[in-house]
């Protein structure tokens, strides 16, 4: 899933990016409100983690502007312990959830997964597909009852297809799911990962729609 972390503390941002990327997410980072607003205007995120105290303003203004523009992306606020009034204002402004610093990175990742799923209209964590069972919350897959180990990027691509289940995803959308802004994309990366997923999960799990993209039937 593609995520945006808005956080101006370099250490905290680095540990959040590390933890979320290790789970196979493509994560962009913005260290101020202006960069966050610019990123949100052009990219489609599954979830945003938003710090409220930013060097050029409040994260609340970023959130309010997105909601005013009709953006329904899930937002999780990262707030300080003494920012109770900000937390309330944030929820009133349309935030979906909050965590209180210092938060556990594993818990943050779990909340991100839950909100991103809800944002895609698919709250059920366990899915059954033709011989394949998937636990999206745990990022685990079983084929005929045997667990299949996917790499972070294989999972990122598979998860994007799961989120769009039944809908064809074009190659650029899958590339976006695979990589953050700052990563170079190999021209055939999507084909390579689809091929690896077919080897691991079975040839019929992902269908190619020639000229259109890929779909989980
Ligand atoms: Ca801050």
CATH number at residue 205: 1.10.10.10
DSSP 8-state symbol, 182: T
Q: How close is the Cα of 102 to the center of ligand 1, in Å?
A: 12
Domain of 66, CATH number, reads 3.40.50.2300
Q: How close is the Cα of 62 to the center of ligand 1, in Å?
A: 14
Q: Are residues 83 and 187 in the same domain?
A: no
Q: Are residues 107 and 197 in the same domain?
A: no
Write the DSSP string, 123-157: --SEEEETTEEEETTTTEEEETTEEE---HHHHHH
Q: Token pair of 6, please?
A: 């808005």
Q: How close is the Cα of 33 to the center of ligand 1, in Å?
A: 10
Query: pLDDT per position in the chain (217 positions), as tens?
Result: 889 999 999 999 999 999 999 888 889 999 999 999 999 998 889 999 999 999 999 999 999 999 998 888 999 999 987 778 888 999 999 999 999 999 999 999 999 988 887 776 655 567 787 788 888 777 889 998 889 998 888 888 898 898 887 889 999 888 887 775 556 777 888 999 999 999 999 988 899 999 899 998 8
Boundary of a domain, candidates 119, 137, 169: 119
Q: How close is the Cα of 99 to the center of ligand 1, in Å?
A: 13
Return all residues near 35 (Cβ < 8 A) that are at least 6 apart.
none
Instruction: Tell me the C-alpha distance between 119 and 21, whole Å.
Output: 20
Q: How close is the Cα of 16 to the center of ligand 1, in Å?
A: 13
Q: Are residues 183 and 208 in the same domain?
A: yes
SS3 (DSSP) at 27: strand
Q: How close is the Cα of 110 to the center of ligand 1, in Å?
A: 22
Q: CB atoms < 10 A from the CB of 44, how many?
A: 11
Q: How close is the Cα of 52 to the center of ligand 1, in Å?
A: 6
Return the H-helix or E-strand segment holding 215: strand 213-215
Residue located via tokens 């489609």: 44
SS3 (DSSP) at 40: helix
Q: How close is the Cα of 71 to the center of ligand 1, in Å?
A: 23
How many structural domains does the chain have? 2
Residue 141, φ and ψ in degrees, nearest 5: -135, 140
pLDDT at 122: 58
Q: How close is the Cα of 18 to the center of ligand 1, in Å?
A: 18
pLDDT at 180: 57
pLDDT at 118: 76
Instruction: Tell me the C-alpha distance between 39 and 33, whole Å.
Output: 10
Q: Are residues 21 and 112 in the same domain?
A: yes
Boundary of a domain, candidates 52, 84, 119: 119
Q: Are residues 183 and 82 in the same domain?
A: no
Q: How close is the Cα of 8 to the center of ligand 1, in Å?
A: 5
Residue 119, φ and ψ in degrees, nearest 5: -60, -30
Structural domain of residue 210, as residue ranges? 126-215
């Amino acid at each position: 899933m593609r995520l945006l972390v808005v956080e101006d503390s370099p250490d905290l941002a680095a540990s959040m990016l590390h933890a979320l990327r290790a789970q196979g997410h493509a994560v962009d980072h913005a260290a101020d409100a202006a960069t966050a607003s610019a990123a949100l205007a052009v990219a489609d995120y599954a979830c945003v983690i938003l710090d409220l105290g930013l060097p050029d303003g409040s994260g609340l203004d970023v959130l309010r502007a997105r909601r005013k523009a009709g953006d329904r992306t899930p937002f999780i606020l990262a707030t300080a312990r003494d920012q109770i009034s900000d937390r309330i204002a944030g929820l009133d402004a349309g935030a979906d959830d909050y965590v209180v610093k210092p938060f556990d990175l594993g818990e943050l990742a779990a909340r991100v997964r839950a909100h991103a799923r809800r944002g895609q209209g698919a709250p059920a964590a366990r899915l059954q597909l033709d011989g394949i069972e998937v636990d999206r919350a745990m990022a685990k897959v079983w084929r005929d009852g045997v667990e299949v180990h996917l790499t972070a990027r294989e999972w990122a691509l598979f998860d994007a297809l799961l989120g769009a289940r039944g809908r064809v995803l074009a190659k650029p959308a899958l590339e976006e799911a695979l990589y953050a802004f700052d990563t170079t994309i190999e021209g055939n990366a999507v084909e390579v990962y689809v091929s690896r997923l077919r080897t691991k999960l079975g040839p019929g799990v992902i269908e190619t729609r020639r000229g259109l993209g890929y779909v989980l039937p």
